[in-house]
Structure 1
Amino acid sequence: MAENLSYFGVTPHLKNLRFCGFYQLDSNSSKMKKALHTAYMRLILSLILLYTCQQIMKVYQDRDDVNKVMDTMFLLLTNSDSIYKQIVLWKKAHRIEVLLSIMKGPIFNQKKQEHEKQLSATARQAKILLRVFNTTALFTCLLWVLYPVINVHVQGKPVEFAIWLPFDVNISPYTYFAAFYVWVQTSWLAFSNTTMDVFITFFLAQCKTQLSILRLDLEHIVEKSKEEAKISSEDFKNVLDTRLKIVLSHYDEIITFSGIIQEVFGGAVMYQFLVSGWIICTTAYKTVNINPMSVEFVSMIMYMSCILTELFIFCFYGNEVTHESEKLIESAYAMDWLEIPVKCKRALIMFMERIKRNINLVAGDLVPLSNSTFVSVVRSSYTFYAFLKNTN
């Protein structure tokens, strides 16, 4: 069994984020490496800000043409969301390190056989989601670049990119230079943004998994204590008392963990909800006028799928955390509490009073992370789209 199985699942995310210049190096790295990587992070942020400014200039340039503005707006909003998350990872890195330390700690990694299955499943799901999400995003960006190249070589049509450039992109070799520049920037942002989303989601998934493990320990605490007392020849009351203290410490650690998640990422997720409605709206506005048999249409559908998936995983795992915390009280009732000593019963009663208050994660201290929120955002997006279409 891995020593830090709880932390193991997040290592690919950290590797990607450090490679992309979105997160600091490990504290064990040398001062020289840290200094060079910090300079690298600043360079990456500068390039992303430059690309975003080019998009803003393009929107201003085409402000009288709604269709051209829509061609740029959905990517501009996505980039602004990515920049927000990047700044959060930079400014609140010390709090994120606390989350990582908790996942490395003994409470989240109790090295019990019954815990390994759930921790391994969470780590495996995180890796699969990261790989699929990254691959889909990169393939979408590749299709975006292929579209103007196909227009030039096959159909002989003029091309136009969704950024401002100081030269005519329809003059060779500027077409290929612009296509390469857009491909690098969008691919970098897509890879980084999807990694950040799955990174945040992993903390939610880990919180849910730890609650499931806590419920499992609580339901079987009496029988496990009896088994341990029989094997070790210790007093049952002492073994039970020790296990109950671990359960209480585990719950305290989960409360701390969930609180830091909301403190660090609540604002970023809230901004994601705010801009996603407009992103979906502008993407739909652009997609309905595209030939369904074209490469551009396929790329827009894939992009829309990525945005909807981002929203869904936040809401789904946030809803799962709340659901597991609600079931804690049922697990407390399900245990064989008739055989518990009076001293432990008192502690259990106090614990049951505490867990009556569910863990409800919210975005920006306002919007709950739940499945109903996902439905509300999608409905709002359709309302924005209908309004924009009717106005136009």
Structure 2
Amino acid sequence: MSGDRVTFDFRKFFERDFFMLKFLGIYYLTENAKIGQILYSFIVSLPLMVVATMVQIINMFCVEADLRKMAASGYLGASCLMAVIKELFLFKNKKFLLNIQNDMNRSEFQPKDAEGVELVERCLSGYKKTRKVVLIVCSIAVSGCLTMPFLSSTQLLPLSAWYPFDVTYSPVYELIYIHQSVSLIYLAYMNIYIDILVSGFTTFVSLQCALLCHKMESQRNINSVKEFVIHHKWILNFVFNIEKLITEMYFLQFSACTVIFCLSWFLLTMIDVNSFEFVYLFAYQTAIGSLLLIPCWYSSEMERQSQLIPFSVYSLPWRTNTHQFKKDVYFFLLGVQKPIFINIVGLFPLSVDTFTKILRSSFSYYTVLNNMNLKSQANN
């Protein structure tokens, strides 16, 4: 601490999340990625991501006459495809991600006093606990998928996939199992850490809104709102970068999650509730639901926190101040009336309300699929 200014290293707080993505091959998160690092990204991504996803998609077309087999291929295939889409859009929109990284430690975003530091630590602590819970839930689901072949009599490999050769013979089976296992872990944690990072970004915006409110409410002898206006401008700029980074990605993720929920619910109705497969599917749904919920939840919290800014602006000591100050407060108040939220392709916000709509849509599709299956069984 120097004087009344406190330096808080926000980038360091998210360092582990960025490191995990780099470990998974996303080295273009840094501006000065070396050729060897970029090659590593492609070498890791191609066999683990593309191959594993393609063999599942092909398998869906091979079993299209069997709804249960199609669902078994589809729900995991959609998850894997989701990871591929996320990495592609991260690469496409990497400049916005770099902007986010570079802007995190701006002086405007720094807490100005001990209370501000406490506010930041409290907010980030809550996010850190949520991140830990999500990682545990998702890791349980991944472990369940990897052990499924040993505990289920109907599934030979972790992923339902098509291969142009017989995979039941040793050592082909062992090699395919290892490839699928490593690919599954890779794809799962790609999904997990991207969603965790997006949740972290929205948490950052939420705490910046809280910091802005704290700054305005804690200062009384002021003659200018310039500092607050600049802070708010940079918050909006930060949200702009988040939106540009994830808008297309999350539109496709919402679509994929709708398919995943629909197919996994369909499978749950067709298996024994006392089987390991039922327990695994329940854990899998919980993991996918939590991955989709946390960015929606923190985005809704970000919007809620931004709605408090006008009240803090109004609390500024404008009544006994100069006419110019009153005008500045008035125009600033007009500028902060609109809540801050992330718009997905201009159609809907990233919010808990959107999450519930996805669940309702998934249930509607599940009902249609279940009726199709019942009619098919009746005809047979």
Indicate the residue corresponding to 2:166 in structure 1. 168
CA apart distance, 1:179: 2.4
Q: Secondary structure at the match of 1:257?
A: helix
User: Once the 2 structures are TM-superposed, how far is the Cα of residue 44 of structure 1 from its aligned partner?
Assistant: 2.4
Residue 92 of structure 1 contacts residue 264 of structure 1 at CA under 8 Å; is this kept in 2?
yes
**Aligned amino acid, residue 11 of structure 1:** E
Q: Distance in 2 between matches of 1:138 and 1:45?
A: 21
Q: Alpha carbons of 1:158 and 1:109: their partners in 2 closer, same or farther (altered >3 Å)?
A: closer
What secondary structure is seen at the aligned counterpart in 2 of 1:16? helix
- Any residues of structure 2 matched to 1:144-163 within 5 Å, and which? 144-151=145-152, 159=156, 161-163=159-161
**What amino acid is the match of 2:25?**
G
Counterpart check, 1:200 vs 2:186: no
Kindly state the Cα deviation for residue 21 of structure 1 after the two structures are TM-superposed. 0.7
Indicate if the aligned counterparts of 2:318 and 2:325 stay in contact, CA closer than 8 A.
Answer: no
* CA 187–328 in structure 1, closer or farther in 2 if over 3 Å, else same: same
**For 2:181 and 2:247, how far apart are their aligned partners in 1?**
31
Structure 2 residue aligned with 1:391: 372
> Letter of the aligned partner of 2:34 in structure 1?
K
Q: Does 1:131 align with 2:132?
A: yes
Q: Deviations over 1:87-135 (max 9, x none)?
A: 1222222221111111111111244212212222333334333333333
Question: What is the correspondence of 1:210-289 to structure 2 with a 5 Å cutoff?
Answer: 210-222=208-220, 225=221, 240-241=222-223, 244-289=225-270
Map Cα deviations across residues 181-204 of structure 1 (whole Å, 9 max, x no partner).
Answer: 221111111111100001111111
Residue 6 of structure 1 pairs with residue 4 of structure 2: no
The residue type equivalent to 2:130 in the other structure is L
Bigger mean CA offset, 102-111 vs 116-125: 116-125
Q: What's the offset of the Cα at 1:158?
A: 7.0
Q: CA deviation at 1:23?
A: 4.1
Q: Deviation per CA, 1:39-67, whole angstroms, max 9, x where unpaired?
A: 01112221211111111221122122111
**SS class of match (2:359):** helix
Deviation at 1:309, TM superposition (A): 1.2
Do the aligned partners of 1:51 and 1:185 also contact (CA within 8 Å) in 2?
yes
Contact 1:12 1:127 in 2 (8 A): no
The Cα offsets for residues 301-332 of structure 1, whole Å up to 9 and x where unpaired, read as: 11101111122122212222222222211222
In structure 1, stretches of 5+ residues that fail to align are 226-239
The equivalent of 1:34 in structure 2 is 34
Q: Aligned partners of 2:227 and 2:155: how far apart in 1? A: 67
Deviates more, 1:67-76 or 1:365-374: 365-374
Of all paired residues, the percent bearing the same amino acid is 22
| Corresponding residue of 1:114 | 115
Rounded to whole Å, the distance in 1 between the matches of 2:138 and 2:235 is: 32
5+ residue gaps, structure 2:
374-380
Distance 2:212 2:138 in 1: 36
Judging changes above 3 Å, is the alpha-carbon distance between structure 1 residues 25 and 159 closer, same or farther for their aligned structure 2 residues? closer
1:371 Cα offset (Å): 2.1
CA contact (8 A) 2:243 2:343 kept: yes
**Separation (CA, whole Å) in 2 of partners of 1:101 and 1:371:** 29
Distance 1:389 1:67, change over 3 A: same
Q: Aligned Cα RMSD in Å?
A: 2.1
- Partner Cα separation in structure 2 for residue 49 and residue 158 of structure 1: 22
Cα offset, 1:366, TM superposition: 0.8
CA distance in 2, matches of 1:6, 1:93: 19
TM-score by length of 1: 0.87
Q: Specify the code of the residue in structure 1 equivalent to 2:347.
A: L
One-letter code aligned to 2:302 = V
- Counterpart CA distance in 1 for 2:29 and 2:37 is 7
Decide whether the 8 Å contact of 2:27 with 2:37 is kept in 1. no
Q: Do the aligned residues in 1 keep the contact of 2:68 with 2:267 (CA within 8 Å)?
A: yes
> Cα offset for 1:262?
0.9
Equivalent in 276, 286, 304 of residue 323 of structure 1: 304
Give the Å deviation of 1:221: 2.1
Cα distance in 1 between the residues matched to 2:38 and 2:329:
49
Q: Which moved more, 1:335-344 or 1:354-363?
A: 335-344
- Secondary structure of 2:26's aligned partner: coil
Q: Is the 8 A contact 1:59 1:72 kept in 2?
A: yes
CA contact (8 A) 2:29 2:98 kept: no
Match of residue 143 from structure 2: 142
Matched, 1:181 2:185: no
**In terms of mean alpha carbon deviation, does 351-360 or 273-282 score higher?**
351-360
Cα distance in 2 for partners of 1:330, 1:303 equals 42
